């Protein structure tokens, strides 16, 4: 049995410990917001947080999650109140939308570490997340916007 | 009248592909052919009831005030789940906050009005849906007004509508939800009055997309996310070489692995069916399969391009001939010739192919991100041994399509139904990224050999393009109909056969290559390579004439006002005449495709052989437009898609085996490589053109021409490698 928490809920699973966390999250836990894109940590569609740090769940064996706290897109904020989600709405970012869970999860770690990121910071943090629709210009604007929204929120 | 309007929506060379699509229906089994708008009364549905008002196939209104627009085009990022509902909601005077969408089931009612079947492609959703969705909304509105008038016992003409309600005088108001019961009893009108465009509330505005919220919290359901009770997951071991056949397989180890339910030979290869994806994938790796490699085992793309080059030395099938290009070239003051090459490309959708099938005795349900519902359902039915009506195809969100999910053979659907037959339970077939990339149906590789000449004043007087490459249509069930009477494929030469420049002597010739690599349309199809070759060669002629590439184009486009419009707009917004910092260069390109005109200016630098795109200015004229926000997104996305191919992407084969496997060997542009992109939309009253594809073609030539501007070297092969520049 491998035990960890997912979006604040404790789970204990009887699963092959070498199975990538991605497939456990999607198939055993039914949280399909985290996407499969490459299976080799190249595209970032599977990005989640393990103990608050961005991880590519397609190459992380489920054993790595044991005893940790995992957050998926479903746990970012179900009511879209997270500043990133609000900014993504304002900038109308997604096209097909398939990569956006991963984009948001990477951006969340960036904003936690750098509340007012520069364009270079955005390049550094977001380069692991591919978008084939080409939403990069809007993602960049939305991250800056989310930083503003979060700053205003803090001031209140 | 409606029929005529639809026909007018078809413009220029886009027609050829659309011809194919109409013709193809006949080939695939006598479905509706030709331009056809069902009359409104034929769209009436028995689904209206006391609680639901469904006056036609495209809209449903509930007593809860919800307006659900049923959309017959697939949402693959291009925004149709917003732009088509906008058309309907505007005519309906709906409260936009109450408007939602729903994918249409497969039914002739939902056929593409121009193509005669259910398909999303050819950048056609909005122009083909313009009348259809507006009519549907206007008809619903007229019935709601009639229901209110009846209830108030007043004349309909005294009523007006606003934000989801009918009003009369100063104190009468009934919401659409309150009118559901009354309206549901009425007969839909035969004719309706459409709004004066001046009174549009939604059309023409950058309305936010309806599908964004569910794409930000993991709720949007793509094909890969579908889950059914008792569902198994399968992968397929497919041949390592196109045309290879399975001789035998040994599953003694794989069959004993945990979770594995069945291992079965199907026509596509060997399927491993297991409880979970990872179990299926692990077991597939433990399979030992012997293949009869067939005659493609020596196939090499290096050799293929050498053969193409050789073939281009002899005349091909004549596609276009104006004047006497050979004589004009012989008499030209200066001449240049160039050979351009582009490789096979994978569509590389973020969501690899997948398909869920629940096959029962007498029925079959399919869930997938399809761009080609009519054909996919018919092909699924054939494999299932069921009549079409017994097969339900549910269209999910598509994690990118780019043409791959409109496969004429329905390869990924047919295979999944075969797997379902073997599984004996609901099953999801998942393609890994490697499977998807090796699975074929690529943008064909092409070679363009072009020669041209200028006169003593530097005017272009002769142009001859010879193309060598595979036909997309050949070998499909549609080939006989489409290629009848033509010995070239229009989709191979689109974008060069309509060379817009005023050059008196022009020849376009086509050589069709017969190679057993399956090819298919990829975002912007033939234009994805013709614009590169044509716009780079125009630049070479400008250099030969010692003229500015923008002014050189201008002079040859005097009779092409819409080309000129986007060219001027892009040049002006990019500040064409303003000097750039040292080490930077600017390139320009203009192209017509899918009913729309587009021009790009790219600014690049080249450092130690590394190309960096700093800025792209894109001008687009797609006629009367519906949602400028979505148009900007598509134009930016198209530029990035084109730039990705130009900078990074190439599929190569050696010994019949694909050399690329995943994003590390077939890259896509990333955030740190993405330039600043500015989109300028031309205000136009011309008929609407497409927007999903027209942003792609100009990217590669604008970048290549900018590289010439800064380095003096020409790029004649994609992807761009400075070591190959000449």
How do residues B56-95 score in pLDDT, each as one tens digit? 999 999 999 999 999 999 999 999 999 999 999 999 999 9
Confidence of residue B5 (pLDDT cuts 50, 70, 90): very low
> How far is Cα B219 from Cα A33, in angstroms, rounded to an integer?
6
> How far is Cα B41 from Cα B491, in angstroms, rounded to an integer?
37
B369 and B481 inside one domain: no
Q: Which residues contact B601 (CB under 8 A, 6 or more apart)?
A: B570, B571, B573, B574, B576, B586, B587, B588, B616, B617, B702
> How far is Cα B120 from Cα B74, in angstroms, rounded to an integer?
6
Q: How far is CA B597 from CA A127, B80, B153, B422, B569, in A?
A: 32, 20, 52, 49, 12
User: Three-state SS for A142?
Assistant: helix
Give pLDDT tens digits for B666-698.
Answer: 999 999 999 999 999 999 999 999 999 999 999
Look at A132 and B349 and tell me if their CB atoms are within 8 Å.
yes
pLDDT exceeds cutoff 50 at B156: yes
The mean pLDDT of chain B is: 93
Mean pLDDT of A27-52: 98
pLDDT exceeds cutoff 80 at A15: yes
Mean pLDDT of B106-124: 95
pLDDT exceeds cutoff 50 at B29: no
Contact B708, B640 (CB under 8 A): no
> How far is Cα B164 from Cα B144, in angstroms, rounded to an integer?
10
Encoded tokens for A121: 């910071």
Give pLDDT tens digits for B157-179.
Answer: 999 999 999 999 999 999 999 99
B565 and B418 inside one domain: no
Look at A45 and B350 and tell me if their CB atoms are within 8 Å.
yes
pTM > 0.90:
yes
Q: Which residues contact B323 (CB under 8 A, 6 or more apart)?
A: B504, B505, B506
Domain ranges of chain A: 2-76, 83-155
B167 and B53 inside one domain: yes
Sheet bearing B317-322, strands edge to edge: B317-322, B505-513, B460-470, B446-454, B334-342
List CB contacts (< 8 A) between B233 and chain A. Answer: 27
Residue B168 inside a domain? The answer is yes
CATH entry, A83-155, from 4.10.91.20, 1.10.3720.10, 1.10.150.120, 1.10.10.10: 1.10.150.120
B406 and B456 inside one domain: no
B265 and B235 inside one domain: yes
pLDDT exceeds cutoff 50 at B657: yes
Among chain B residues, the shortest Cα distance to A58 is held by: B278
Confidence of residue A155 (pLDDT cuts 50, 70, 90): low
List CB contacts (< 8 A) between A137 and chain B. Answer: 636, 674, 676-677
The reported pLDDT for the residue numbered B477 is 72
B284 and B190 inside one domain: no
**Residue after which a domain boundary falls, among B165, B182, B210:** B210
Look at A137 and B352 and tell me if their CB atoms are within 8 Å.
no
pLDDT exceeds cutoff 60 at B312: yes
Q: What sign does the dihedral B412-B414-B418-B420 (CA atoms) show?
A: positive
Give pLDDT tens digits for B427-463.
Answer: 999 999 999 999 999 999 999 999 999 999 999 999 9
Contact A39, A59 (CB under 8 A): yes
Q: Length of chain B in residues, anyone?
A: 726
Give pLDDT tens digits for A68-101.
Answer: 999 999 999 989 999 999 999 999 999 999 999 9
B678: contact with A, CB 8 A cutoff: no
Give pLDDT tens digits for B177-217.
Answer: 999 999 999 999 999 999 999 999 999 999 999 999 999 99
The reported pLDDT for the residue numbered A78 is 83
B280 and B419 inside one domain: yes
| DSSP string computed for A68-99 | SEEE-HHHH-TTS-SHHHHHHHHTT--SS-TT
Contact B450, B537 (CB under 8 A): yes
Chain A, 49-68: which have a CB under 8 Å from a chain B CB? none
- Can the peptide bond before residue B60 be classed as cis, meaning omega within 30 degrees of 0? no
A6: contact with B, CB 8 A cutoff: no
Confidence of residue B44 (pLDDT cuts 50, 70, 90): very low
A118: contact with B, CB 8 A cutoff: no
Confidence of residue A154 (pLDDT cuts 50, 70, 90): low
B318 and B409 inside one domain: no
Contact B453, B461 (CB under 8 A): yes
The reported pLDDT for the residue numbered B484 is 67
B269: left (phi over 0), alpha (psi -120 to 50) or beta: left
> How far is Cα B355 from Cα B46, in angstroms, rounded to an integer?
31
Q: How far is CA B394 from CA B103, B107, B274, B357, B404, in A?
A: 8, 12, 23, 10, 18
A35: contact with B, CB 8 A cutoff: yes
pLDDT exceeds cutoff 60 at B11: no
> How far is Cα B435 from Cα B240, in angstroms, rounded to an integer?
10
Q: Among B615, B604, B623, which residue's Cα sits nearest to residue B565?
A: B623
Q: Which residues of B274-313 are buried (b: 16+ CB within 10 A; e: fewer)?
A: bebbbbbbbbbebbebebebeebbebebeebbeebeebbe
| Count of beta carbons in the 10 Å neighbourhood of residue B514 | 8
> How far is Cα A39 from Cα A41, in angstroms, rounded to an integer?
6
CA A67 to chain B, closest CA, distance in angstroms equals: 22
The reported pLDDT for the residue numbered B36 is 37
Residue B659 inside a domain? The answer is yes
In this prediction the ipTM stands at 0.98
Residue B436 inside a domain? The answer is no
Q: Among B79, B90, B69, which residue's Cα sits nearest to residue B198?
A: B90
CA B625 to chain CA centroid, nearest Å? 18
Angle between helix A136-155 and A100-113 (nearest 10): 40
Look at A130 and B663 and tell me if their CB atoms are within 8 Å.
yes
Give pLDDT tens digits for B345-358.
Answer: 999 999 999 999 99
CA A101 to chain B, closest CA, distance in angstroms equals: 6
Candidates B97, B214, B217, B613: best to mutate against A (most CBs of A within 10 A) is: B217
Give pLDDT tens digits for B224-235.
Answer: 999 999 999 999
B400 and B519 inside one domain: no
> How far is Cα B409 from Cα B365, in angstroms, rounded to an integer?
18
Q: Which residues contact A144 (CB under 8 A, 6 or more apart)?
A: A117, A122
Look at B276 and A135 and tell me if their CB atoms are within 8 Å.
no
In chain B, count H helices and then E strands: 19, 27
3-state secondary structure B473-538: CCCCCCHHHHCCCCCCCHHHHCCCCCCCCCCCEEEEEEEEECCCCCECCCCCCCHHHHHHHHHHHH
Phi and psi torsions of B307, nearest 5°: -65, -40
List the CATH number of the domain containing B271.
Answer: 3.30.365.10
Domain that holds residue B186: 2-210
Pairing of strands B460-470, B446-454: antiparallel
Q: Which of B212, B352, B633 sits opposite A89 (nearest CB)?
A: B212
Confidence of residue B487 (pLDDT cuts 50, 70, 90): confident
pLDDT exceeds cutoff 50 at B38: no
Residue B647 inside a domain? The answer is yes
> How far is Cα A29 from Cα A151, in angstroms, rounded to an integer?
34
Domain A2-76 has CATH 3.10.20.30: yes
Contact B655, A151 (CB under 8 A): no
Chain B, 414-433: which have a CB under 8 Å from a chain A CB? 430, 432-433
Mean pLDDT of A92-118: 98
Q: Where are the alpha helices (DSSP H) in B575-715?
A: 628-648, 699-711
> How far is Cα B167 from Cα B154, in angstroms, rounded to an integer?
11
> How far is Cα B187 from Cα B253, in angstroms, rounded to an integer?
66
DSSP state of B387: -
Structurally, chain B folds into a number of domains equal to: 3
Phi and psi torsions of B192, nearest 5°: -130, 155
List CB contacts (< 8 A) between A74 and chain B. Answer: 217-218
Look at A96 and B76 and tell me if their CB atoms are within 8 Å.
yes
Look at A132 and B348 and tell me if their CB atoms are within 8 Å.
yes
User: Three-state SS for B205?
Assistant: coil
Give pLDDT tens digits for B498-535.
Answer: 999 999 999 999 999 999 999 999 999 999 999 999 99
Residue B52 inside a domain? The answer is yes
Q: What sign does the dihedral B433-B305-B406-B631 (CA atoms) show?
A: positive
List CB contacts (< 8 A) between B429 and chain A. Answer: none
Residue B218 inside a domain? The answer is no
Among chain A residues, the shortest Cα distance to B636 is held by: A134
Residue B437 inside a domain? The answer is no
Helix (H) or strand (E) holding B678: strand B676-681
> How far is Cα B350 from Cα A133, in angstroms, rounded to an integer?
9
Look at A98 and B350 and tell me if their CB atoms are within 8 Å.
yes
B652 and B543 inside one domain: yes
> How far is Cα B540 from Cα B676, in angstroms, rounded to an integer?
27
């Amino acid at each position: 049995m491998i035990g960890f928490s997912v979006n604040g809920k404790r789970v204990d699973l009887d699963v092959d410990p070498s199975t990538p966390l991605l497939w456990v999250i999607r198939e055993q836990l039914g949280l399909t917001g985290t996407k499969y894109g490459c299976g080799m940590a190249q595209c970032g569609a599977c990005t989640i947080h393990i103990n608050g740090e961005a991880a590519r769940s397609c190459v992380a064996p489920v054993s790595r999650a044991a005893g940790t706290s995992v957050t998926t897109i479903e746990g970012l904020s179900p009511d879209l109140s997270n500043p990133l989600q609000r900014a993504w709405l304002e900038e109308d970012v997604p096209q097909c939308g398939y990569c956006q869970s991963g984009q948001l999860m990477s951006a969340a770690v960036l904003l936690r570490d750098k509340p007012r990121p520069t364009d270079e910071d955005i390049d550094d943090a977001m380069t692991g997340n591919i978008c084939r629709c080409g939403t990069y210009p809007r993602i960049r604007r939305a991250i800056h916007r989310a930083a503003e929204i979060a700053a205003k929120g803090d001031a209140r | 009248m409606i029929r005529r309007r639809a026909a007018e929506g078809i413009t220029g060379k886009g027609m050829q592909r659309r011809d194919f699509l109409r013709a193809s229906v006949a080939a695939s089994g006598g479905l509706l052919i030709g331009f056809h708008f069902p009359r409104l009364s034929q769209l009436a549905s028995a689904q209206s009831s006391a609680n639901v008002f469904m006056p036609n196939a495209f809209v449903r209104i509930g007593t809860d005030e919800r307006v659900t627009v049923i959309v017959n085009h697939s949402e693959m990022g291009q925004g149709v789940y917003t732009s088509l509902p906008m058309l309907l909601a505007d005519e309906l005077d709906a409260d936009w906050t109450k408007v939602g969408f729903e994918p249409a089931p497969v039914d002739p009612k939902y056929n593409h009005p121009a193509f005669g079947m259910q398909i999303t492609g050819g950048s056609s959703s909005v122009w083909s849906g313009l009348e259809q969705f507006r009519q549907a909304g206007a008809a619903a509105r007229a019935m709601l007004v009639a229901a209110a008038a009846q209830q108030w016992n007043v004349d309909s003409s005294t009523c007006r509508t606003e934000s989801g309600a009918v009003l009369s005088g100063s104190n009468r108001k009934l919401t659409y939800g309150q009118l559901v019961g009354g309206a549901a009893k009425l007969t839909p009108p035969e004719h309706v009055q459409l709004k004066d465009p001046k009174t549009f509330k939604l059309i023409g505005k950058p309305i936010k997309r309806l599908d964004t919220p569910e794409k930000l919290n993991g709720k949007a359901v793509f094909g890969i996310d579908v889950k059914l009770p008792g569902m198994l997951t399968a992968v397929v071991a497919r041949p390592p070489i196109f045309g290879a056949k399975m001789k035998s397989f040994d599953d003694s180890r794989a069959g004993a692995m945990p979770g594995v339910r069945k291992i079965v030979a199907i026509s596509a290869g060997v399927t491993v069916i297991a409880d979970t994806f990872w179990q299926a994938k692990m077991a597939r790796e433990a399979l030992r399969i012997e293949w009869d490699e067939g005659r493609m085992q020596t196939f090499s793309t290096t050799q293929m391009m050498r053969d193409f080059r050789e073939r281009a030395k002899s005349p091909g099938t004549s596609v276009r001939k104006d004047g006497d290009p050979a004589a004009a070239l012989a008499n030209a003051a200066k001449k240049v010739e160039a050979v351009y090459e582009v490789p096979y490309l994978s569509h590389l959708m973020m969501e690899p192919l997948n398909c869920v099938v629940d096959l029962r005795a007498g029925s079959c349900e399919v869930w997938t991100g399809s761009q080609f519902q009519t054909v996919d359902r018919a092909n699924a039915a054939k494999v299932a041994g069921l009549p079409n009506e017994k097969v339900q195809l549910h269209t999910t969100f598509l994690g990118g399509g780019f043409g791959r999910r409109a496969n004429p053979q329905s390869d990924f659907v047919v295979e999944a139904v075969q797997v379902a037959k073997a599984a004996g339970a609901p099953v999801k077939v998942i393609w890994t990224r490697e499977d998807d990339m090796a699975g074929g149906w690529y943008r064909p590789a092409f070679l363009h050999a072009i020669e041209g000449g200028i006169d003593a004043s530097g005017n272009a007087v002769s142009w001859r393009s010879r193309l060598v490459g595979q036909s997309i249509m050949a070998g499909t069930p549609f080939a006989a109909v489409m290629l009848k009477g033509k010995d070239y494929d229009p989709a191979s030469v689109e974008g060069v056969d309509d060379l817009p420049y005023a050059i008196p002597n022009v020849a376009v010739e086509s050589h069709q290559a017969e190679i057993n690599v399956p090819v298919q349309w990829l975002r912007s199809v033939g234009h994805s390579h013709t614009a590169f070759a044509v716009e780079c060669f125009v630049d070479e002629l400008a250099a030969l004439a010692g003229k500015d590439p923008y002014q050189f184009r201008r002079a040859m486009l005097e009779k092409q006002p819409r080309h000129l419009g986007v060219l001027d707009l892009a040049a002006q917004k990019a500040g064409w005449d303003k000097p750039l910092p040292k080490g930077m260069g600017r390139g320009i390109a203009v192209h017509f495709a899918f009913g729309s005109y587009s021009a790009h200016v790219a600014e690049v630098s080249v450092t130690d052989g590394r190309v960096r795109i700093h800025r792209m200015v894109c001008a687009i004229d797609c006629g009367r437009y519906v949602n400028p926000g979505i148009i900007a997104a598509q134009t930016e996305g198209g530029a990035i898609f084109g730039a990705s191919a130009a900078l990074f992407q190439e599929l190569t084969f050696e010994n019949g085996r694909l050399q690329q496997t995943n994003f590390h060997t077939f890259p896509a542009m990333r955030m740190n490589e993405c330039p600043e992109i500015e989109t300028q939309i031309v205000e136009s009253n011309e008929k609407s053109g497409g927007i999903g594809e027209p942003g792609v073609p100009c990217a590669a030539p604008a970048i290549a021409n900018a590289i010439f501007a800064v380095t003096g070297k020409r790029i004649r092969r994609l992807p761009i490698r400075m070591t190959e520049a000449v």
